[in-house]
Structure 1
Amino acid sequence: MKLLLLEDNQKLNETITKRLNLKGYSVDAFTDGMHAYNNIDEGYNCFILDINVPNLDGVNLLKRIREFYNDVPVIIISASVELDIIKEAYDFGCNDYLKKPFFIDELEIKIDKLCNISNDIIYFDTQCYFDFKSSIISCNQQEQRLTKKERLLLNLFLSHKNRLVTFDNIQNYVWEGSMASLESIRSLIRRLRKLLPKEYIQTIVDTGYIFKTT
């Protein structure tokens, strides 16, 4: 998958690029809005745009992108909390908004969900799948509807299959930045495990979990 990243903070730009490269994504990174605009026709699957950048801000770049591409996902990342700016971004067709500072894992999850998943059904076993749209997990033709936190947790695991998901990752994504005790996280893990026919979720002591799939 090919992405365009517009972020004028050089360190953050490099960090995001490195992480997405490690996932196998091709990233063209820019720090200047006009330079990014001059390259929007290079066949991108996803655009990640900061708002406050030199020469052409992210919202106006989004507007120009939508003049050419109606369906390519656009994720806005910004420190701005001004509701008018956020509303304007959504009015011009942004698909999601991520406020700085954020964990890179959060951005990866949004990219996986918006840009890399072609449908709402994700198989993690020949007999098991998760339907994002209905929040239903189906294993061996038995269906279970998940609660919001169970759905967010499974979403997080499926976006990081066979990779470590830390306690901090879970707290930040499932509890959406609010504090969560280790016991709350472990209780949620136990509930999700009961809905699964196999031991997909492996505990990494004092660190987190790995969702193991074949």
Structure 2
Amino acid sequence: MVKPFIRNHQYNFIHKQVGLLKHACNTVSDPRVVEAVRDRTQYKILEAFPEATELEKQRLEPSTTLRADGEFRDYLNALEPYMAEFGEVTGKQLNKLFPKIKKLKTPDLTAIDYRYVTYLGWTDIATNKMFLVYHLNGQAVGVEGRFTPANKGVCFLCNRHAEVALFSAITKSKPANASPDYYKAIGNYLCVNSDVCNKNITDVTALERFVQEVMGYREV
């Protein structure tokens, strides 16, 4: 039995690669070119799962046979049962992650399909705050910061052009012998709508680096 092993960003990556293959199948007449795209698609997908077991690889391998439009859709649908959920969180847990916020505004947690979540993000317009929750090394961590609307721009997490805001968080890391009032803000342009971002994010490298830097888990 194969347990869920595909994280949301990995599923998005597969979706993107399969989309490129589908486009080649529908627009390229040279079968050699199509097969080259097919081989690259399979390679890129498996490369995204370096620790996959043989059974998990078998679940991913049908992409080598896809040709008709319906087959691409069926392949992606067949992967959904193997999507690993973002660890479900409760309102009480969120309050513990942000203890300094007395009246924390949280999203409707009951309306979230956690299979399609890489990070939990939301804004509180009243306080001009943006919040982000991510599971790092198996533990939920929370990052809060101020946001400044910036209209359209490129999100540093999903690399898509969307409505973004400048998300500025104060790092908990301090140099040795720093003065008591020392602080350093780390700012990045982030999608205002985290649902949109979660649908497009294909890599968590930038997200994990950002969380580590803010939480003081590494040198900055």
TM-score (norm 1): 0.30
TM-score (norm 2): 0.29
- Asked which structure has the greater CA Rg, the reply is 2
Taking CA–CA contacts closer than 8 Å with sequence separation of 6 or more, which of the two structures ends up with the larger relative contact order? 2
